Amino acid sequence: MKVRSHILEIHPALLLLGSFLGAIAIGTGLLALPVSTRTGTIALIDALFTATSAVCVTGLAVVDTGSFFSAFGQLVILALIQVGGLGVMTISVMLFSLAGRAIPFRHRMIMQDVFAHTPRRDILKLVRSVVLVTLAVEGIGAILLAYHWSREMPLPQAIYHGVFHAVSAFCNAGFALYPDSLVRYADNALLVLTMSGLIVIGGIGFPVLFDLGLALRARHRPQRRLAVQTKTVLITTAVLIGIGALMFALLESHSAAGGEGWQTRVLTALFQSITCRTAGFNTTDIAALREATLVLMIFLMFVGASPGSCGGGVKTTTLALIVMFTLSRIRKLRRVNMFRRSIPAETVTRCISLLLVSIGILISIVFLLLVGDAIVAGSEVGPRHAFLPFFFETVSAFGTVGLSMGITPALTLWGKLLIIAMMILGRVGILTFSYVVVGKAGTLGLEYAEENLMIG
């Protein structure tokens, strides 16, 4: 009883972070076993990196998943991906459920940032819906992908490939069983569109899916409206996908990526616009893309997925709120309004704070990576041209995307540790910051006489 009471007194953010760290530790131990690799050995740092990448559903890999790990190792990675994808939505509530206690109102208010846009009494119902939707969507995706691979491999192997890639896509993990990710299937509409659908559904967030389900069941009641969160996520996601695909197609129209037929070019542009928002699969060589295209992808990776989803980044709602806040200030409006609703000032302040903190952390990590690369002799990346690859890698880790310009295996021990920290931070760190720093009721503190300050 005393231990249970002590657990319930721990801040939910710390419980959330601890659960992810525990999963990473267990995954590292399992991947370090001789049975997990084809050669029977793996460096501890590589096992830790892979476990972190799987639990944080990132997809960055220092070794090739399909050829380096055995069937057992691949199943461990698959399990870690599933735990990582569902963990943010379920672990906190399940801890209270296993402890046999109702969710306190104070914790319910804190966890609403993960589960919903407003406090709700049916958190456990939402969690059950999360699990059912996950299994259903992954099952449908696995069937479609298994059908695709059944035409080129035995059925049991095709089913395995289908399940692995369906789970990896829905959880926005980016792990693939091929060394070139999905480049060899760039012209396959069935595979590309199936993977794209899984990524989008997994990236818009379970609260949005739950709200859409409620709206569908209440479609005969005109007073039932979609929440502002749902409208914002759907519109922002569609705009980002559309603009990203169009810009990718235009920027790469005269490059190697644009040298194929029109169908392949359309599929590639669409898929890369979707996947670089947190999934990490690729159907073209990332290192061969133009620098302007890479900058576009960095922006999309930084934005990431939506709140309450399997993806990372600063989230689509943050981007939408920043845009609306800017427009409101240009129009000299004091309140930020969206869809005939006013957004609380505290939410706007939190949004700006998280954005600034994210940018500051990214700059700091890139600086530390460059310093470490310059100090360590014999680095394979090269200090003269390391900035863009390191910047791309850091944003990819923060957004839990998994795309890379090919430098991941060449990272030093120092670089791997920094990217590991970035993947953890991108998955739970900003959320933890929100809970610990601005989630509690603040105090006014000392207030002095005002004096103006020049800006701009």
- Per the structure block, which two tokens stand in for 205? 């967030």
SS3 category, 64: coil
Q: Which of 57, 53, 63, 51 is nearest to 22 (CA)?
A: 51
Please state at what angle helix 189-203 crosses helix 262-275, rounded to 10 degrees. 20
Residue ranges of the chain with pLDDT lower than 50?
1-8, 88-89, 106, 110, 258, 377, 436-439, 441
CA 88 to chain CA mean position, Å: 11
Please tell me the predicted confidence (pLDDT) of residue 321: 93
CA separation, residue 381 to residues 243, 373, 410 (Å)? 32, 8, 7
Please tell me the predicted confidence (pLDDT) of residue 1: 47
Other C-beta atoms within 10 Å of 427: how many? Answer: 28
- H or E segment to which residue 341 belongs: strand 341-343
Please tell me the predicted confidence (pLDDT) of residue 310: 77
Distance separating alpha carbons of residues 80 and 423, to the nearest angstrom: 14
Please tell me the predicted confidence (pLDDT) of residue 129: 78
- Per the structure block, which two tokens stand in for 271? 């898929």
Please tell me the predicted confidence (pLDDT) of residue 381: 53
Contact of 402 with 53, CB cutoff 8 Å:
yes
Please tell me the predicted confidence (pLDDT) of residue 347: 85
Q: Which of 11, 35, 122 is nearest to 434 (CA)?
A: 11
Distance separating alpha carbons of residues 404 and 58, to the nearest angstrom: 11
Please tell me the predicted confidence (pLDDT) of residue 440: 52
- The tally of CA atoms less than 13 A away on the side-chain side of residue 288 is 12
Please tell me the predicted confidence (pLDDT) of residue 295: 93
CA gyration radius for the chain? 22
Distance separating alpha carbons of residues 112 and 107, to the nearest angstrom: 9
- Domain range list for the chain: 2-438
Residue with tokens 């760290």: 21
Contact of 417 with 73, CB cutoff 8 Å:
no
